[in-house]
Amino acid sequence: MNVVAPSAPPTQHIHAGSSLLPPSRRRSRWIAAATLGLISSTFSTIVSQLSAARIGRDAAVDWMTVAAIPARDWALSAEPSWSAILAGIAFHQWADFSWALVFFGVLGRWTADLRPLTILGLALPWAVFSSATEWFVLVPLFPFWQPLFTLQQPYWIGLLVHGSSAVMYPLFARLRWKRGHAPARDVRFTNAWITGAITVVAVLGIIALFGGHGYELPWIGRDKDADQTYIRHMTAHHAQGIGLAQIAAERAQDPHLRKLAMLMVASQAGENRIFENWWLSWFDTEMPDCSTEERAAMPGFLTVADMRQIKSASMDQFDSVFVELMSKHHRGAVKMADQMWHSSGDLRLRVMAHAIRHEQQGEIALMEHADGIAAVSAAFRNMLADNVN
């Protein structure tokens, strides 16, 4: 009688990234996602902080605006406080951390075993989706119902921040494994990726260090006279806006309007500091003051009679007078920024101008108590259309 021995089970050729590999070699996808969230959000915070002034953003004001999402008016002041800045950074990191948990935890059935380049290919559209979801829905509507962030910052700023977080997502392919068990090619890829990230931070840090001491990257526009005129005029225009907002920060009867006036002071003062730094860096001279004739010709620049009206306004009339005059002033700044946005000026000035026109049109809507769907609609129009207000 011949006894046939049972045949050995066929050898399984398993891909190195497959979920069929022994679980003992792999970390929980939730733990890996949490670790990745800490890394990506921290990288995003550092990159945002170091690069903000290079595109005309005052990082402290932006963090304060982010802090106003959960903290609302408490976070707003004429000079961003450290508590508001830290609250804004913490909230941003919590949001980025949460998106990483969704991508690799909630959706981990489809994303946890992907190769690094595949993750990157999906992470960048994810940055578009997540930043749009925040800007259009989560912040201005449910659950925060806070229109200030969406009306104050154009969508592309959030997209850049989310994009800087998403570029770190390929590291998940290594974090998913316990030490010593990650596939060799993923180790090589992530080592190179980490080296690149550190290099980016180092380069941005050096540029920021020199920029903070008056040595920004050189001016690269096509019409120096036009760019110089814009900087001088917008600086003078902002200076008057700051003075007007300072009055409202002390006299406005509506507490929210007082806080909004403080935000106007902070944002325009921050922008003026950037203008002054760019001028010294690019043109190596003191910025000439605007003449009386130049000021009179600026769109929205208030007259002596206008300033006398706001200073003498009675308590019960002050808020309405301020909203009327500041709206007029903002509309003028929007026209000036529109001209720069469509010019052949230095790209940094043009990008900053686009943000200024969005911000100032948004503040007009905020003074008119826009919220909900109306605020989202106004913000969308402000970002795309010319001279909406």
Q: What is the pTM of this model?
A: 0.91
Q: Are 252 and 265 in contact (CB under 8 A)?
A: no
Q: Helix, strand, or coil here: 252?
A: coil
User: What's the rounded Cα separation, in Å, for the pair 284 and 240?
Assistant: 25
pLDDT tens digits in sequence order for the chain, 389 residues long:
444 444 444 433 434 444 444 556 899 999 999 999 999 999 999 999 999 999 999 999 999 999 999 999 999 999 999 999 999 999 999 999 999 999 999 999 999 999 999 999 999 999 999 999 999 999 999 999 999 999 999 999 999 999 999 999 999 999 999 988 999 999 999 999 999 999 999 999 999 999 999 899 999 999 999 999 999 999 999 999 999 999 999 999 999 999 999 999 999 999 999 999 999 999 989 999 999 999 999 999 999 999 999 999 999 999 999 999 999 999 999 999 999 999 999 999 999 999 999 999 999 999 999 999 999 999 999 999 776 44
- Which tokens go with 194? 């980490």
Q: What is the pLDDT of residue 64?
A: 98
Residue 303: the pLDDT is 96
User: What local confidence, expressed as pLDDT, does residue 24 receive?
Assistant: 63
Provide the 8-state DSSP code for 386. S
Q: Give one word for 369, left, alpha or beta, with left for phi > 0 and alpha for psi -120 to 50.
A: left
Question: DSSP assignment of 256-290, as one string?
Answer: HHHHHHHHHHHHHHHHHHHHHHHHHHHH-SPPPPP
pLDDT of the residue at 231: 98
Give 243-246's long-range contacts (Cβ < 8 A, gap of 24+). 244/302, 244/307, 244/310, 244/322, 244/325, 244/326, 244/329, 245/326, 246/78
Are the beta carbons of 32 and 104 closer than 8 angstroms? yes
Provide the 3-class DSSP secondary structure of residue 238: helix
> HSE-up of 220 (CA within 13 Å, CB side)?
6
Task: Give the model's pLDDT for residue 387.
Answer: 61
* Helical ranges in the chain per DSSP H: 29-51, 59-71, 82-101, 108-111, 116-133, 147-152, 155-166, 172-175, 184-212, 224-251, 255-283, 292-297, 304-312, 318-341, 347-367, 372-384
The predicted pLDDT at position 23 comes to 58
Determine the pLDDT at residue 386: 74
